[in-house]
Amino acid sequence: MNDADVVMRTLGNFFCGPPYIPPPGFPSADPFLIQTNGSTSFLPVGSLGGAKGTSINDVGDVLGYYSGPSTGAHLVVWDNSGLHDLGQSGYGYMNNVGQVVYTVTNSGSILGFAMWQNGVSTPIHLPAGVSAQTTGPINDAGQFIARNGSAANYLLTPTGPCATDVPNRVSISRTGFHYNHSTGLFALIGSVTNTSGSSIPGPISLVVDNLPASATLFGIEGDTLCATPQGSPYINIGNIGAGQTLAPGASISGSIDFHRYGANRHHLQPARAGRAGREIEMKRNLLLQLPLAFALASAAKADIYTVTLNTSPLTGNGPFKLDLQFLDGSGTPGDLNNNVVTLTSFAFGAGGSALGSGTATGGASGGLTAGVTLKDTVFFNEYIENFTPGSLLSFTLNATNNADPGGTPDLFTLAILDSLGSELPTTGPAEEFLDIALTSGTNAQDSEFGSWRRLFARRSQRAASKSVAIASSRAVGALAVVGRGTMLVGLALGARARP
């Protein structure tokens, strides 16, 4: 099981009578995944006849093997792009970045070592004086163990130039947190702006230091080797690749995602953050725009809003769930119990109605008929209720506007869930329609987003794993940013700019 609570098992098929082999169409062994909602999905084995899984990383990549009739054991990897045969091997290990370090063999004879990543295998040349027979575990910084039986163990470290630290050339705006039911991840929403007078070369990376034991950064590119403290996870932010730049005054907006595991979702404790890593592209190729028009009218006081959402494209479908969240800036005692959001006068238009029997979590109470109150009594506060969509959805929102001492605002978000409990995809960084951050300024900071409709059914979490652009927050500490030039990927053979 990985830190996202996804379980990987292998189903073995055998038959007790002649001919004792599975009939056509039945693999001898097939790995499968068990998602957090209880759903299961088998991994493709193609023409292999059967394969076994041995490990799963935090983004859902699976490492396994199969035995050829005349070639012995082959390593295989399942990732978002499908099944990959790494060739004959006796040993292999995978990290959360999707790198696999393994021993290359031929009919049992050891030929050397290799690193596999994104479909490409690169031979590893051991340093002079190092004699090893097998590989050992690999961490997210790309360091791995080489073993010479019981005689010696060696720690091998990637080489290359270090990244350039640029915290004084950027400003970071922190919007707040949203829980994404589709992915099971907490999204930290925000933006990074180049405040300097010169362009920052990409890729631009973000490192997160001192995460609490209950949380892990999702979709990492690796762990730091140069930047201190070493071993901190990093991701690339935005779609700024090698050869591209972030111009003066330009911003990167979006979110970074976290696994939160444990007894509940109520606490994502603050930590300090640093620099960063993996380039992620928001993939909308499976989506088609759906005109759910959104309007937001602010009254004379900045903390009173009339919210109107055109839900007529949803009529005749559903029911849907209205998801109202109010997440504290960190969940620590000094930040709690200082803001309240009240939602009243819900209207659903012709043919629409609230269906009652909602679910309240944390400091949430009430209902869509009488009104909903959200208090930041704990980190995670949420109210969900089924509704039948009509021509529109409207309500009045009244919020206090007090800043949290930690610097990350309390954030109200509105999302719509389908009948299975997954967000309707939007252009928002965490699939939300509306953000209102309580910043203690003259006006609360609000953002509205358009909606999208999927052309195809939602894929499993493993297949749909994604991180979006960027953000920052006190819950992962005071963030700093690294600007990196051209990155030449390699291990021992090549060089890369690395945090």
- Token pair 């209902």: residue: 367
Q: By three-state DSSP, how is residue 54 classified?
A: strand
Element containing residue 463 per DSSP (H, E):
helix 461-464
Residues 6+ apart with CB under 8 A from 370: none
- The predicted pLDDT at position 443 comes to 65
**Structural domains present in the chain:** 7-156 (no CATH), 164-282+473-483 (2.60.40), 287-461 (no CATH)
- The predicted pLDDT at position 285 comes to 21
Greatest pairwise CA separation for the chain in angstroms? 82
Element containing residue 464 per DSSP (H, E):
helix 461-464
Structure tokens at 316: 């005749």
DSSP for 155-207?
EE----PBPEE-GGGEEEEEEEEEEETTTTEEEEEEEEEE-SSS-EESPEEEE
Determine the Cα–Cα distance for residues 130 and 110; give it in Å rounded to an integer.
15
Structure tokens at 220: 């990492």
* pTM of the complete model: 0.68
Q: By three-state DSSP, how is residue 282 classified?
A: coil
Which residues, in sequence order, are bridge partners of residue 384?
A: 323, 359
- The predicted pLDDT at position 94 comes to 92
- The predicted pLDDT at position 268 comes to 39
Residues 6+ apart with CB under 8 A from 124: 101, 112, 113, 114, 115, 156, 491, 492, 493
Residue 4 CB neighbours (<10 A) = 22
Tens digit of each residue's pLDDT, the chain (499 residues): 887 778 888 887 655 555 445 555 556 677 888 887 778 888 888 888 788 888 998 888 999 888 876 677 889 999 888 899 888 887 899 998 889 999 888 877 888 888 898 888 888 887 777 778 888 888 888 888 888 877 678 888 877 677 777 878 888 888 889 998 888 888 888 888 899 999 888 888 888 777 777 777 887 777 777 777 777 788 887 778 778 888 999 988 888 888 765 434 433 333 323 332 222 222 222 222 333 444 444 433 346 888 888 888 888 887 899 999 999 987 788 788 889 999 999 999 999 999 988 999 999 999 999 999 999 999 999 999 999 999 888 899 999 888 887 778 999 999 999 888 888 888 888 889 888 998 876 666 777 777 643 322 222 222 222 222 222 222 222 222 333 222 222 122 222 334 5
Nearest C-alpha neighbor of 167 from the set 217, 223, 211, 206: 206
In sign, the C-alpha dihedral spanning 139, 145, 150, 151 is negative
46-57-28 Cα angle (round to 5): 30
- The predicted pLDDT at position 305 comes to 83
- The predicted pLDDT at position 481 comes to 35
- The predicted pLDDT at position 218 comes to 83
Which residues, in sequence order, are bridge partners of residue 288?
A: 453
480-481-487 Cα angle (round to 5): 150
**Is the separation of the CB atoms in 116 and 77 below 8 Å?**
yes
